[in-house]
Chain A
C-alpha cells in the first residue's frame, strides 16, 4: 500500500531534484575478437559491439518512458584494448580506436570506454603501443575513452607508467589544443581501478567479467541536498541517517532500472554503482551538499570530514538497497562538472591541495581539473603519483583526469559545455618534481598488501 506522501516524494525527486539514472553501461567482452590481422580484429570488434549493443539506446529510452525516470546516458565498455590488439601484428593501435568510435556511432552511444591498458606492475609490448597511441586516438576520435591503471595496492606504483602518462596527457592536450585540450577529458589514470565501473571516462569491461553485462550508475546529488537541508541544525547522527535513507531510495531506482534493462537486453545484470555524480545543472552538485551541511564554501576547513560522512552514509544506504553494489561507488568531486565546486574555486575556497585531501575519503580522485597549459609533464606525473599513493595506501580507487589547457593560465576559463561543464584554471605548485618522477622503476607495494 503506497501512501500519497510516498508517491509525491518520488515524483518530487524526479521532477524537482534531478533524480536520474546517470548511465546504463553495457560491458562487452571483446576477447574473442583477437586476430593476427589487425583489419580482421577491428572488424570483429565492430561487428560484436554493434550486434550486442544494437538495442541499447532504444531499450534505455523505452525504460525511461515506462518508469518516468530520465536515463541520461547509454554507454558501452569493452575489454582493455591492449589485451586484444596485442594479438595482432599492428604497429599502431589507431585503427582499433577508430573501430570503437565507429561502433559507438553506429549504435548511438555518446561514449565507449576501453581504450585501456593495465600496467600497474609493468608493460607488455601491447601496453606500450596502446599508451603511445592514446594522444592521437583521443584527438582523432569523438567517442572513445581511454584509461590506464598505473598502480594497485598489491603491486605498488609503476612509476615508469606514471612518468609516461604525464607526457601522454600533455601530448593529448597539445593535439586537441583547438578544443581547449578536450582529449584529456576522455583520459583517466587510475590506481586500483575497478573492473565494472559504468561511469566514463574510466569505464572498461574487466577480464573477470562475463561475455556481456549491464551495469548502472545512479545519481541524485540534488535529492541528497534537499534531504540534508531538511535536517538543518540537527546532530550528526540524524544527518548521517537522513543521507543513508535517501541514498537507499536513490539506489533502489538504479536496481530497478538495471534489472529491467538487463532482462530487456538479454544480458545479466552486473552492478549498481551508487556514486553521487554531479552535473553542471543547477542543484545537481556535491559541493552544494557539503555546504548544506553547514560549510560556508566547499573547500574550507571541515570539508574533508563532511565529505567522509557523506561518502560513508551513501555507501551504507546504497549497500542495503541493492544486491550487487560495485564500480566506484562513492561521491564524485569533479570540478568542471559541478557548479558548486566551480564557485568554490572562484571564491578562493577550494584549491588543488584541498581537492587532493578530499580524494582520500571519496571514491575517485582529481577529476576534471583544468591546470595551466604550461604545467610540465613531470608535474602532472607527480600529481598522478600523489593520487596513486593515496589509493594504494588506503586500498581504494583513485584517479586523475586533469587538463593542462593549452595557452591558458590561472584564472582563465575553459568551456566544454554539456555534461563536461566549464572550469576555472587552477594553480599548481610551482616547484619542480622532475628528479623524483624521473627516477624510474616501481614504488614497492605497501605492507598492507600482505594480507594472506
Chain B
C-alpha cells in the first residue's frame, strides 16, 4: 500500500477479500466497483496459507451508490464467487492505527 495516492478529501473505501484462491476473483470485485463508478486507487494481495487475501482501496467520490448499498453488492458478489468480501470506510483503519 506504500504507493497509495493521497487524496485531499478522505472518502475512500477499503475493500477486503478473503477466501480460497480461484479464477475470477479480481474480475468479480473490480466489475462491481467499476460499474458503480468507483475508481480503484490501489490493489494489494498476498497468500496466507491456502487463502487469498486481497485489499483494494477505492475512491468513493464518483460513486453512484452509497456505502451501504455498495457493501451489499459486494457481499452478494462474494457469495457468488465463494469468498468473503467486505467494505469499510477508510476512517476505521485510520482511526485505529493513526493519531
Contact = CB atoms under 8 A, between A and B. Distances in A.
Interface of A: 1-4, 6-11, 15, 62, 65-69, 249, 252-253, 255-256
Contacts of A256: 91-92, 95-96
Contact of A4 (B1, B18, B87, B98): B1
Contact of B1 (A7, A69, A253, A255): A7
For the residues of B in contact with A, the DSSP-based class is: mixed
A255 B95 contact: yes
Contacts of B16: 7-8, 11
A67 B4 contact: no
Given A1-B4, A68-B86, A7 B93 contact: yes
B30 interface: no
B55 A4 contact: yes
A65 B92 contact: no
Given A7-B14, A252-B96, A253-B95, A68 B88 contact: yes
A8 B53 contact: yes
B97 A6 contact: yes
B38 to A, nearest CB: 15
A10 B14 CA distance: 11
B95 to A, nearest CB: 4
A252 B98 CA distance: 9
A7 B90 CA distance: 9
B53 A69 contact: no
A7 B95 contact: no
27 contacts: A1-B1, A1-B2, A2-B94, A4-B44, A7-B1, A7-B16, A9-B97, A10-B88, A11-B86, A11-B88, A62-B68, A65-B68, A65-B71, A66-B68, A66-B88, A67-B88, A67-B91, A68-B71, A68-B86, A68-B87, A68-B92, A69-B88, A69-B92, A253-B96, A255-B95, A256-B91, A256-B96
Given A66-B67, A67-B91, A256-B96, 13 more contacts: A2-B94, A2-B98, A4-B55, A7-B14, A8-B55, A10-B88, A10-B96, A11-B16, A11-B88, A68-B87, A68-B92, A256-B91, A256-B95
B77 interface: no
B30 to A, nearest CB: 18
Contacts, number: 72
A337 to B, nearest CB: 26
Contact of A253 (B53, B92, B98): B92
A6 B93 contact: yes
Residue among B53, B87, B88, B95 with most chain A CB within 10 A: B95
B4 A2 contact: yes
B67 A2 contact: no
Interface in B52-99: 53, 55, 67-68, 71, 84, 86-98
Given A7-B55, A65-B67, A249-B96, A2 B1 contact: yes
A10 B95 CA distance: 11
Contacts of A10: 88, 92-93, 96-97
B89 A67 contact: yes
B27 interface: no
A253 B67 CA distance: 18
Given A10-B96, A67-B88, A3 B1 contact: yes
B46 to A, nearest CB: 7
Contact of A67 (B18, B55, B92): B92
Contacts of B98: 2
B88 A249 contact: no
Contacts of B71: 65, 68
A61 to B, nearest CB: 9
A66 B90 CA distance: 10
A324 to B, nearest CB: 15
Nearest to A62: B68
What are the nearest 10 A-B pairs in CB distance? Answer: A68-B88, A256-B95, A65-B68, A6-B97, A67-B92, A252-B96, A66-B67, A252-B95, A249-B96, A2-B93
B93 A66 contact: no
A1 B90 CA distance: 11
A9 to B, nearest CB: 8
Contacts of A252: 95-96
B77 to A, nearest CB: 16
A65 B96 CA distance: 17
Contact of B89 (A9, A11, A66): A66
A239 B88 CA distance: 30
Nearest to A64: B68
A1 B68 CA distance: 25
A1 B14 CA distance: 13
Contacts of B92: 10, 67-69, 253, 256
Nearest to B92: A67
B76 to A, nearest CB: 14
B97 A249 contact: yes
A427 B87 CA distance: 49
